[in-house]
Amino acid sequence: MPTMGSSNGLVLLILLVLTISLTLVADASQKRREIPSEEEMIDLKRQLKAINKPALKSFKTEHGYIFDCIEMEKQLAFDHPLLKNHSIQLKPTSIPKWTSDNTTSKRSSSSLPFGQDDITCPLGTVIVKRTTLEELIPLQRLKSVGFFYPSSKNKNADSTNHFAAATYKRDTYGALGNINVWEPHVSSDQFSYASISVARGSGNQLQSISAGWIVYELLNKKHSVLFTYWTTDGFQKTGCYNTLCPGFVQVSRKFALGALAKPVSTYNGQQYHLEVGLYQDSVTGDWWFLIKDERIGYLPRSLFNDEGLANGASIVFWGGEVFSSVKEKSPSMGSGHFPFEGYKKAAYVNGLKVIDHQLAKVIIPPPTSIQLLADSPHCYDAEKEIGKGDWSRAIFFGGPGGCTF
Protein backbone atom coordinates (compact mmCIF):
# COMPACT_ATOMS: atom_id res chain seq x y z
CA MET A 1 0.00 0.00 0.00
CA PRO A 2 1.52 3.36 -1.01
CA THR A 3 2.41 5.86 1.69
CA MET A 4 1.08 9.45 1.85
CA GLY A 5 4.48 10.76 0.71
CA SER A 6 4.64 8.45 -2.29
CA SER A 7 1.04 9.36 -3.25
CA ASN A 8 1.88 13.07 -3.15
CA GLY A 9 4.98 12.38 -5.20
CA LEU A 10 2.91 10.49 -7.78
CA VAL A 11 0.40 13.35 -8.01
CA LEU A 12 3.19 15.88 -8.52
CA LEU A 13 4.74 13.68 -11.21
CA ILE A 14 1.39 13.40 -13.03
CA LEU A 15 0.88 17.18 -12.82
CA LEU A 16 4.39 17.75 -14.16
CA VAL A 17 3.80 15.40 -17.09
CA LEU A 18 0.45 17.10 -17.84
CA THR A 19 2.08 20.55 -17.70
CA ILE A 20 4.86 19.51 -20.08
CA SER A 21 2.36 17.88 -22.43
CA LEU A 22 0.12 20.95 -22.49
CA THR A 23 3.15 23.17 -23.11
CA LEU A 24 4.29 21.00 -26.02
CA VAL A 25 0.78 21.00 -27.49
CA ALA A 26 0.56 24.80 -27.13
CA ASP A 27 4.00 25.26 -28.72
CA ALA A 28 3.06 22.93 -31.58
CA SER A 29 -0.20 24.83 -32.06
CA GLN A 30 1.70 28.12 -32.07
CA LYS A 31 4.14 26.81 -34.69
CA ARG A 32 1.22 25.68 -36.87
CA ARG A 33 -0.27 29.17 -36.63
CA GLU A 34 3.08 30.68 -37.68
CA ILE A 35 3.19 28.58 -40.88
CA PRO A 36 1.44 30.66 -43.56
CA SER A 37 -1.61 29.15 -45.20
CA GLU A 38 -1.77 28.83 -48.98
CA GLU A 39 -3.84 32.02 -49.17
CA GLU A 40 -1.41 33.88 -46.89
CA MET A 41 1.52 32.64 -48.98
CA ILE A 42 -0.07 34.04 -52.14
CA ASP A 43 -0.53 37.38 -50.39
CA LEU A 44 3.09 37.36 -49.15
CA LYS A 45 4.36 36.73 -52.68
CA ARG A 46 2.18 39.59 -53.93
CA GLN A 47 3.66 41.89 -51.28
CA LEU A 48 7.16 40.73 -52.14
CA LYS A 49 6.65 41.63 -55.79
CA ALA A 50 5.41 45.09 -54.80
CA ILE A 51 8.34 45.69 -52.42
CA ASN A 52 11.17 44.52 -54.70
CA LYS A 53 11.17 46.86 -57.67
CA PRO A 54 12.93 45.84 -60.93
CA ALA A 55 16.71 46.32 -60.61
CA LEU A 56 19.10 47.67 -63.21
CA LYS A 57 21.99 46.01 -61.40
CA SER A 58 22.38 43.74 -58.38
CA PHE A 59 25.12 42.73 -55.94
CA LYS A 60 25.40 39.74 -53.59
CA THR A 61 27.55 40.14 -50.48
CA GLU A 62 29.65 37.55 -48.67
CA HIS A 63 26.90 37.25 -46.04
CA GLY A 64 24.32 36.33 -48.67
CA TYR A 65 22.44 39.64 -48.79
CA ILE A 66 21.38 41.01 -52.18
CA PHE A 67 21.39 44.74 -52.92
CA ASP A 68 19.58 46.12 -55.94
CA CYS A 69 20.17 49.32 -57.88
CA ILE A 70 16.69 50.78 -58.45
CA GLU A 71 15.86 53.79 -60.59
CA MET A 72 15.42 56.60 -58.06
CA GLU A 73 11.97 57.67 -59.22
CA LYS A 74 10.71 54.06 -59.33
CA GLN A 75 11.52 53.09 -55.74
CA LEU A 76 8.78 51.82 -53.41
CA ALA A 77 8.45 55.15 -51.56
CA PHE A 78 6.42 56.64 -54.38
CA ASP A 79 3.72 53.98 -54.17
CA HIS A 80 2.44 55.96 -51.17
CA PRO A 81 -0.72 57.90 -52.16
CA LEU A 82 0.62 61.08 -50.53
CA LEU A 83 3.81 60.92 -52.60
CA LYS A 84 2.39 60.40 -56.08
CA ASN A 85 3.41 63.90 -57.19
CA HIS A 86 6.38 64.28 -54.86
CA SER A 87 9.41 66.17 -56.14
CA ILE A 88 12.52 64.22 -55.19
CA GLN A 89 15.02 66.09 -53.01
CA LEU A 90 18.58 64.95 -53.76
CA LYS A 91 19.93 66.77 -50.73
CA PRO A 92 18.64 68.92 -47.86
CA THR A 93 18.69 72.68 -48.35
CA SER A 94 21.01 72.92 -45.35
CA ILE A 95 22.99 70.43 -43.26
CA PRO A 96 23.50 71.07 -39.52
CA LYS A 97 27.13 71.74 -38.70
CA TRP A 98 28.62 68.63 -37.14
CA THR A 99 31.23 69.64 -34.58
CA SER A 100 33.18 66.55 -33.58
CA ASP A 101 36.07 66.94 -31.12
CA ASN A 102 37.91 63.91 -29.80
CA THR A 103 41.15 65.74 -29.05
CA THR A 104 40.10 66.75 -25.54
CA SER A 105 39.47 63.19 -24.40
CA LYS A 106 41.64 60.12 -23.97
CA ARG A 107 38.70 58.07 -25.18
CA SER A 108 38.76 57.37 -28.89
CA SER A 109 36.53 55.42 -31.23
CA SER A 110 36.31 54.99 -34.98
CA SER A 111 33.41 56.44 -36.93
CA LEU A 112 31.63 54.42 -39.58
CA PRO A 113 30.25 54.93 -42.42
CA PHE A 114 30.41 51.42 -43.52
CA GLY A 115 30.01 49.83 -46.92
CA GLN A 116 28.66 46.74 -48.59
CA ASP A 117 31.83 45.32 -50.13
CA ASP A 118 32.55 48.68 -51.83
CA ILE A 119 29.23 48.58 -53.67
CA THR A 120 28.14 51.75 -55.46
CA CYS A 121 25.10 51.94 -57.72
CA PRO A 122 25.10 53.89 -61.03
CA LEU A 123 24.02 57.52 -61.25
CA GLY A 124 20.25 57.94 -61.30
CA THR A 125 19.70 54.87 -59.13
CA VAL A 126 19.57 54.17 -55.38
CA ILE A 127 20.73 51.13 -53.44
CA VAL A 128 18.03 49.02 -51.77
CA LYS A 129 18.38 45.75 -49.87
CA ARG A 130 16.29 43.05 -51.53
CA THR A 131 13.64 41.51 -49.30
CA THR A 132 13.27 37.72 -49.40
CA LEU A 133 10.21 35.63 -48.63
CA GLU A 134 11.98 34.26 -45.54
CA GLU A 135 12.52 37.82 -44.31
CA LEU A 136 9.05 39.10 -45.09
CA ILE A 137 7.31 37.10 -42.35
CA PRO A 138 9.50 38.45 -39.49
CA LEU A 139 9.36 41.88 -41.12
CA GLN A 140 5.58 41.76 -40.90
CA ARG A 141 5.90 40.75 -37.24
CA LEU A 142 8.24 43.67 -36.60
CA LYS A 143 5.74 45.97 -38.26
CA SER A 144 2.87 44.69 -36.12
CA VAL A 145 4.89 44.91 -32.91
CA GLY A 146 5.94 48.50 -33.41
CA PHE A 147 8.68 50.39 -31.58
CA PHE A 148 7.34 51.55 -28.25
CA TYR A 149 8.70 54.54 -26.37
CA PRO A 150 8.42 55.43 -22.69
CA SER A 151 5.43 57.57 -23.62
CA SER A 152 3.79 54.68 -25.50
CA LYS A 153 4.29 51.46 -23.55
CA ASN A 154 3.77 48.12 -25.27
CA LYS A 155 0.30 46.78 -24.44
CA ASN A 156 0.72 43.46 -26.26
CA ALA A 157 -0.11 40.69 -23.77
CA ASP A 158 2.18 38.22 -25.55
CA SER A 159 5.28 40.42 -25.56
CA THR A 160 7.14 43.05 -23.61
CA ASN A 161 9.73 45.73 -24.19
CA HIS A 162 12.33 47.45 -22.01
CA PHE A 163 14.25 50.67 -22.57
CA ALA A 164 17.17 52.66 -21.19
CA ALA A 165 17.60 56.10 -22.66
CA ALA A 166 18.23 59.81 -22.26
CA THR A 167 15.47 62.25 -23.18
CA TYR A 168 15.24 65.90 -24.13
CA LYS A 169 11.68 67.20 -23.73
CA ARG A 170 11.73 70.49 -25.57
CA ASP A 171 10.71 71.56 -29.07
CA THR A 172 13.42 70.75 -31.60
CA TYR A 173 14.01 70.30 -35.31
CA GLY A 174 16.06 67.16 -34.77
CA ALA A 175 19.04 65.63 -33.02
CA LEU A 176 22.56 64.29 -33.50
CA GLY A 177 24.68 61.72 -31.69
CA ASN A 178 27.39 59.06 -31.99
CA ILE A 179 25.75 55.67 -31.42
CA ASN A 180 28.17 53.00 -30.20
CA VAL A 181 27.79 49.83 -32.36
CA TRP A 182 27.49 46.36 -30.80
CA GLU A 183 25.91 42.99 -31.60
CA PRO A 184 23.92 41.97 -28.51
CA HIS A 185 22.78 38.36 -28.24
CA VAL A 186 19.13 37.78 -29.12
CA SER A 187 17.00 34.69 -29.69
CA SER A 188 14.86 34.20 -32.78
CA ASP A 189 11.84 35.85 -31.13
CA GLN A 190 13.66 38.96 -29.91
CA PHE A 191 15.34 42.12 -31.10
CA SER A 192 17.65 44.69 -29.55
CA TYR A 193 18.50 48.10 -30.95
CA ALA A 194 20.09 51.50 -30.28
CA SER A 195 18.88 54.69 -31.91
CA ILE A 196 18.09 58.36 -31.94
CA SER A 197 14.33 58.95 -31.97
CA VAL A 198 12.23 62.08 -32.42
CA ALA A 199 8.54 62.20 -31.58
CA ARG A 200 5.50 64.37 -31.00
CA GLY A 201 2.05 63.46 -29.68
CA SER A 202 0.84 60.49 -27.66
CA GLY A 203 -1.46 57.51 -27.97
CA ASN A 204 -2.99 57.17 -31.42
CA GLN A 205 -1.67 60.64 -32.25
CA LEU A 206 1.97 59.70 -31.70
CA GLN A 207 4.23 60.42 -34.65
CA SER A 208 7.83 59.27 -34.38
CA ILE A 209 10.99 58.43 -36.33
CA SER A 210 13.89 56.29 -35.16
CA ALA A 211 17.29 55.69 -36.77
CA GLY A 212 20.29 53.63 -35.68
CA TRP A 213 21.23 49.94 -35.62
CA ILE A 214 19.23 46.81 -34.80
CA VAL A 215 19.89 43.10 -34.24
CA TYR A 216 16.98 40.80 -35.12
CA GLU A 217 18.03 37.19 -35.72
CA LEU A 218 15.16 36.18 -38.01
CA LEU A 219 15.87 39.19 -40.17
CA ASN A 220 19.63 39.74 -40.18
CA LYS A 221 21.27 36.56 -38.85
CA LYS A 222 22.37 38.15 -35.54
CA HIS A 223 24.20 40.95 -37.38
CA SER A 224 23.86 44.61 -36.46
CA VAL A 225 22.30 46.50 -39.37
CA LEU A 226 21.29 50.05 -40.22
CA PHE A 227 17.59 50.80 -39.73
CA THR A 228 14.85 53.39 -39.60
CA TYR A 229 11.34 53.03 -38.21
CA TRP A 230 8.45 55.48 -38.31
CA THR A 231 4.77 55.79 -37.48
CA THR A 232 2.15 58.51 -37.90
CA ASP A 233 -0.63 57.08 -35.71
CA GLY A 234 0.93 55.48 -32.64
CA PHE A 235 1.57 52.16 -34.46
CA GLN A 236 -2.12 51.57 -35.17
CA LYS A 237 -2.15 51.28 -38.96
CA THR A 238 1.27 52.73 -39.73
CA GLY A 239 4.60 51.53 -38.49
CA CYS A 240 7.26 50.86 -41.04
CA TYR A 241 10.75 49.36 -40.87
CA ASN A 242 13.23 50.60 -43.49
CA THR A 243 11.75 50.32 -47.00
CA LEU A 244 9.24 47.58 -46.19
CA CYS A 245 6.42 49.95 -47.09
CA PRO A 246 6.14 53.17 -49.12
CA GLY A 247 7.35 56.34 -47.41
CA PHE A 248 11.12 56.54 -46.87
CA VAL A 249 12.84 58.10 -49.89
CA GLN A 250 16.28 56.56 -50.42
CA VAL A 251 18.83 58.87 -52.08
CA SER A 252 22.16 57.16 -51.33
CA ARG A 253 23.84 55.02 -53.98
CA LYS A 254 26.27 53.51 -51.42
CA PHE A 255 24.58 52.86 -48.08
CA ALA A 256 21.33 50.94 -47.88
CA LEU A 257 18.94 50.50 -45.00
CA GLY A 258 19.46 46.95 -43.76
CA ALA A 259 23.18 47.03 -44.55
CA LEU A 260 25.61 45.65 -41.98
CA ALA A 261 26.90 48.12 -39.40
CA LYS A 262 30.47 46.87 -39.33
CA PRO A 263 32.89 46.49 -37.74
CA VAL A 264 31.30 46.32 -34.28
CA SER A 265 32.80 47.21 -30.91
CA THR A 266 34.49 44.62 -28.69
CA TYR A 267 34.49 44.44 -24.89
CA ASN A 268 37.53 46.33 -23.55
CA GLY A 269 38.72 46.69 -27.15
CA GLN A 270 38.28 48.92 -30.20
CA GLN A 271 35.09 50.99 -30.20
CA TYR A 272 33.03 51.97 -33.25
CA HIS A 273 30.08 54.31 -33.63
CA LEU A 274 27.62 55.71 -36.14
CA GLU A 275 27.46 59.50 -36.44
CA VAL A 276 23.70 59.78 -36.79
CA GLY A 277 21.81 62.91 -37.75
CA LEU A 278 18.00 62.92 -37.77
CA TYR A 279 16.61 66.36 -38.50
CA GLN A 280 13.95 68.39 -40.31
CA ASP A 281 14.91 70.49 -43.32
CA SER A 282 14.20 74.14 -42.51
CA VAL A 283 12.74 74.82 -45.99
CA THR A 284 11.00 71.65 -47.19
CA GLY A 285 10.08 70.21 -43.78
CA ASP A 286 11.35 66.77 -44.83
CA TRP A 287 12.98 64.63 -42.11
CA TRP A 288 16.50 63.61 -43.18
CA PHE A 289 18.61 60.68 -41.99
CA LEU A 290 22.37 61.18 -42.30
CA ILE A 291 25.30 58.95 -41.37
CA LYS A 292 28.19 61.37 -40.89
CA ASP A 293 28.28 63.22 -44.24
CA GLU A 294 26.34 60.61 -46.20
CA ARG A 295 22.70 61.40 -47.01
CA ILE A 296 20.83 58.10 -46.65
CA GLY A 297 17.37 59.47 -47.39
CA TYR A 298 14.35 61.23 -45.93
CA LEU A 299 10.70 61.02 -44.90
CA PRO A 300 8.69 63.74 -46.69
CA ARG A 301 6.83 66.30 -44.58
CA SER A 302 3.57 65.38 -46.31
CA LEU A 303 3.50 62.08 -44.38
CA PHE A 304 3.01 63.97 -41.10
CA ASN A 305 0.45 66.43 -39.72
CA ASP A 306 0.61 69.70 -37.79
CA GLU A 307 -0.15 67.96 -34.50
CA GLY A 308 2.74 65.59 -35.19
CA LEU A 309 6.14 65.91 -36.84
CA ALA A 310 5.20 68.34 -39.63
CA ASN A 311 6.50 71.24 -37.52
CA GLY A 312 9.29 69.73 -35.47
CA ALA A 313 9.49 67.32 -32.56
CA SER A 314 8.68 67.78 -28.88
CA ILE A 315 10.91 65.03 -27.50
CA VAL A 316 14.18 63.31 -28.41
CA PHE A 317 15.43 59.90 -27.21
CA TRP A 318 18.99 58.57 -27.32
CA GLY A 319 19.56 54.99 -26.14
CA GLY A 320 18.41 51.40 -26.44
CA GLU A 321 15.34 49.21 -26.36
CA VAL A 322 14.70 45.47 -26.46
CA PHE A 323 11.67 43.37 -27.36
CA SER A 324 10.91 39.85 -26.22
CA SER A 325 8.12 37.34 -25.96
CA VAL A 326 6.84 37.06 -22.39
CA LYS A 327 7.66 33.35 -22.56
CA GLU A 328 11.40 33.94 -22.36
CA LYS A 329 13.88 36.15 -20.57
CA SER A 330 14.59 39.48 -22.24
CA PRO A 331 17.77 39.81 -24.35
CA SER A 332 20.87 41.90 -23.74
CA MET A 333 20.96 45.59 -24.67
CA GLY A 334 23.98 47.45 -26.05
CA SER A 335 27.15 45.63 -25.02
CA GLY A 336 25.24 43.46 -22.55
CA HIS A 337 26.95 45.26 -19.64
CA PHE A 338 25.66 47.85 -17.20
CA PRO A 339 26.53 51.57 -17.60
CA PHE A 340 28.68 51.73 -14.46
CA GLU A 341 31.37 49.68 -16.23
CA GLY A 342 32.04 52.71 -18.44
CA TYR A 343 33.95 53.24 -21.66
CA LYS A 344 34.94 50.20 -23.77
CA LYS A 345 32.66 48.01 -21.66
CA ALA A 346 29.22 49.61 -21.67
CA ALA A 347 27.42 50.95 -24.75
CA TYR A 348 27.22 54.72 -25.15
CA VAL A 349 25.81 57.56 -27.20
CA ASN A 350 28.01 60.65 -27.05
CA GLY A 351 28.04 64.01 -28.80
CA LEU A 352 24.39 64.58 -27.89
CA LYS A 353 23.14 67.66 -29.73
CA VAL A 354 19.77 69.06 -30.74
CA ILE A 355 18.57 71.61 -33.27
CA ASP A 356 16.97 74.31 -31.15
CA HIS A 357 13.43 75.19 -32.21
CA GLN A 358 13.82 78.93 -31.68
CA LEU A 359 17.42 79.40 -32.76
CA ALA A 360 17.10 76.87 -35.63
CA LYS A 361 20.72 75.80 -35.12
CA VAL A 362 22.64 72.99 -33.45
CA ILE A 363 23.16 73.45 -29.72
CA ILE A 364 24.58 71.36 -26.88
CA PRO A 365 21.61 70.83 -24.54
CA PRO A 366 21.97 72.10 -20.94
CA PRO A 367 22.82 69.24 -18.54
CA THR A 368 19.57 69.73 -16.62
CA SER A 369 17.53 69.30 -19.80
CA ILE A 370 18.74 65.71 -20.30
CA GLN A 371 16.76 63.24 -18.23
CA LEU A 372 17.32 59.50 -17.86
CA LEU A 373 14.67 56.80 -18.22
CA ALA A 374 15.08 53.09 -17.47
CA ASP A 375 11.96 51.01 -16.83
CA SER A 376 13.82 47.92 -15.52
CA PRO A 377 17.09 49.11 -13.93
CA HIS A 378 17.87 45.66 -12.55
CA CYS A 379 18.17 44.45 -16.17
CA TYR A 380 19.06 47.66 -18.06
CA ASP A 381 20.08 51.11 -16.92
CA ALA A 382 21.34 54.48 -18.16
CA GLU A 383 23.86 56.94 -16.74
CA LYS A 384 24.52 60.51 -17.84
CA GLU A 385 28.03 61.90 -18.37
CA ILE A 386 29.04 65.56 -18.57
CA GLY A 387 32.61 66.05 -19.79
CA LYS A 388 34.55 67.60 -22.66
CA GLY A 389 34.46 67.45 -26.44
CA ASP A 390 32.20 64.69 -27.73
CA TRP A 391 31.77 63.59 -24.12
CA SER A 392 30.37 66.95 -23.00
CA ARG A 393 26.91 65.37 -23.25
CA ALA A 394 26.80 61.59 -23.28
CA ILE A 395 25.09 58.55 -21.80
CA PHE A 396 26.12 54.99 -21.09
CA PHE A 397 23.25 52.50 -21.36
CA GLY A 398 22.35 48.82 -21.54
CA GLY A 399 22.55 45.65 -19.54
CA PRO A 400 22.53 41.85 -19.64
CA GLY A 401 18.77 41.44 -19.72
CA GLY A 402 17.06 38.46 -18.12
CA CYS A 403 13.83 40.26 -17.22
CA THR A 404 10.60 38.26 -17.14
CA PHE A 405 7.00 39.20 -16.48
Query: For residue range 202-243, what is the model confidence (pLDDT) as tens digits?
Result: 888 899 999 999 998 877 888 999 999 999 988 888 778 888
Domain spans of the chain, in order of start: 50-398
- Report the predicted TM-score, pTM, of the whole model to 2 decimal places: 0.86
Cα gap 138→215, rounded to integer Å: 13
Distance CA 119, CA 69 (A): 10
User: What pLDDT is stored for residue 390 in this prediction?
Assistant: 87
Low-confidence ranges of the chain (pLDDT < 50): 1-2, 4-33, 103-104, 151-155
pLDDT at 8: 47
Beta-bridge mates of residue 10: none
364 and 393 Cβ atoms separated by less than 8 Å: yes
Specify the pLDDT at position 22: 31
Strands 172-180 and 347-356: antiparallel
Give φ, ψ of 228 to 5 degrees.
Answer: -130, 160
The Cα 365–Cα 371 span in angstroms is: 11
The predicted pLDDT at position 142 comes to 62
Q: For residue 385, with 0-12 CB atoms within 10 Å meaning exposed, 13-18 middle and 19 or more buried, which class applies?
A: middle
The reported pLDDT for the residue numbered 347 is 98
What average pLDDT is seen over the chain?
A: 84
Q: What is the CB neighbour count within 10 angstroms for residue 130?
A: 20
